[in-house]
Structure 1
């Protein structure tokens, strides 16, 4: 029985209008229940799919006995709504000609709409397909719905190849960089600033850390034919207690985006070598993913898209698929640079073209 008040989705309408319908269901992280209900109800109405729900994540699978199985995955949640007056990146969505504005337009209701349209209309795909719709992507990794599915429903996720429908401007983007964060701490001795010679300034002691990071030249590393640009930066500095006190503690937060040729441990060793002599603690990390273009299914998919693949510089959930031994790529409608912005939007044709490319490949 459908939950009372569940939004009814027409999965056979123009995929751009389906995108708008999904955007109109507010789904900020931790508030995905309504959109998950709507997606589940729509999928359970399709007799050719086996549907499983775990929390606010849904898995729908074909079981046609094909030689290959592929995953099409996308997250249901968005970042919080903008607070700037007059922002167009909000809910409900709005149209300006063929351009759709609103929260989730690029990240990533267009991709989810493409998944749903394919789920409804491809009853006899050439490959078995596992459609994954998951919650809590835009928050701490420990809350990820995809991570929960990996832990609790791993048997549903076996596949030969995966596609994450994150925005890529309709170009295949292979793998992703890894990310790792540190806190580098310098310590001093507090004193009244009028008698500074009685203390030791912990903020000044952090200057060599900033100097080494400022002079660092990040590498561009070729991994399986794609060039991944790395970056290493201080992203936050905090210390001091008052305007008349010499600070006795300073913490520099550091983020290293590393190419998928490295493990997180290798990335950590690289940063520790650069900042040798300083007190450092690793606070967070996520492994990268190799391009995934060596999978047998990848060549035919790239041919169906018809564009030269590019690397993915940011981290995405293709890394989770890669960790399971599933080569995976990113491919979806919209410009990733518009994600989370007050001006978030996507052109209707970008969504339609993404759907057409996947349909060519799977049909």
Structure 2
């Protein structure tokens, strides 16, 4: 096991984390190292759940804060080991999100008696299917471990606050026709041609803009796949258009489904995925306190993150971490050293 020193400088700690490979499903060595580092801190109780690690202070404070980050990365793209170039640290996961994990570990080591009780959550399999997600397992099996007044997810946000997140709906719209040999195409009804009406409706659709807590969430409805045909000499009798709806967190999954079905009432619509978003929760005391301390203008999270899992437990949650989210999963991802230090210092001040 490669040891980790959570008392090290945040840059050195980030490099050490990056240099321990942890592609989704292969987080065990990194989870071992994180667990070992946390068990060396006597003011925390530590539990291991699969390849996720939860550490908690038990000081009896009036407020509890969760600080969470995932340990896994996407597959490598010739971007290991880490390398430092000026003020930028390059390497697999540097941005998404080992920089944030390093900040969290530094806080755990440097705050034996914080102003708030803190729960640190380092979890597996965020980058793959949701049924493997380590945080989902914890919230399902041990929800008491992650209930709090506020959750801070250390997702890259350019050291700004991205509040809440959008919901996600996936649906298949079936357009029916009638098969025929292409040499006698007039004897059939081409479902692919008929699908043009669905695509035109999507093209002309105006996505909603919904303001919550002063933040504007822009919705989006897009065709992401079109499938038709069984052979090159057969008029297709079925065309399936897969659509993706990103909906504002004020909509429930049921309302999002009704929204799509109402747009295509004459077609068969099969909902294949429907995941709720998370309200920003900026009106909650703990969230408002953090935002005021940071002195930044919150932005809406245009996308889905695991803050939704905390919201489902009734815990307001924010995305706050070092790194540009647009660099996530790219071969050249990096995290600015200045943002590592900034996030560490600001959270240290608020928590301490």
In structure 2, the partner of 1:301 is 290
In structure 2, the partner of 1:324 is 313
Question: Which residue, out of 66, 70, 78, partners 2:73?
Answer: 78
Conservation of the 8 A alpha-carbon contact between 1:177 and 1:312: yes
Gaps of 5+ in 2: none
Pair 1:65 & 2:60 matched: yes
Alpha-carbon distance in 2 for matches of 1:22, 1:257: 33
SS in 1 for 2:97: helix
Conservation of the 8 A alpha-carbon contact between 1:177 and 1:228: yes
Normalising by structure 1, we get a TM-score of 0.95
Structure 1 position 190, deviation (Å): 2.2
Structure 1 position 349, deviation (Å): 0.9
Deviates more, 1:324-333 or 1:97-106: 97-106
Structure 1 position 302, deviation (Å): 1.0
In structure 2, the partner of 1:127 is 116
SS in 2 for 1:200: coil
Alpha-carbon distance in 2 for matches of 1:116, 1:190: 61
Conservation of the 8 A alpha-carbon contact between 1:28 and 1:80: yes
Pair 1:264 & 2:253 matched: yes
Cα deviation per residue 1:66-107 (whole Å; 9 max; x = unaligned)? 11000001111111222xxxx5xx222122122111111111
Alpha-carbon distance in 2 for matches of 1:129, 1:296: 16
Structure 1 position 192, deviation (Å): 2.1
In structure 1, the partner of 2:39 is 44
Pair 1:140 & 2:126 matched: no
Normalising by structure 2, we get a TM-score of 0.98
Structure 1 position 228, deviation (Å): 0.6
Gaps of 5+ in 1: 1-5
Alpha-carbon distance in 2 for matches of 1:106, 1:126: 28
Conservation of the 8 A alpha-carbon contact between 1:304 and 1:358: no
Structure 1 position 162, deviation (Å): 0.8
Alpha-carbon distance in 2 for matches of 1:128, 1:223: 29
Question: Which residue, out of 5, 17, 25, partners 1:22?
Answer: 17
Conservation of the 8 A alpha-carbon contact between 1:19 and 1:109: yes
Conservation of the 8 A alpha-carbon contact between 1:235 and 1:255: yes
Alpha-carbon distance in 2 for matches of 1:9, 1:107: 19
RMSD: 1.0
SS in 1 for 2:109: helix
How many matched pairs? 352
Cα deviation per residue 1:294-322 (whole Å; 9 max; x = unaligned)? 12112221122121111101101111100
Question: Which residue, out of 255, 258, 279, partners 2:244?
Answer: 255
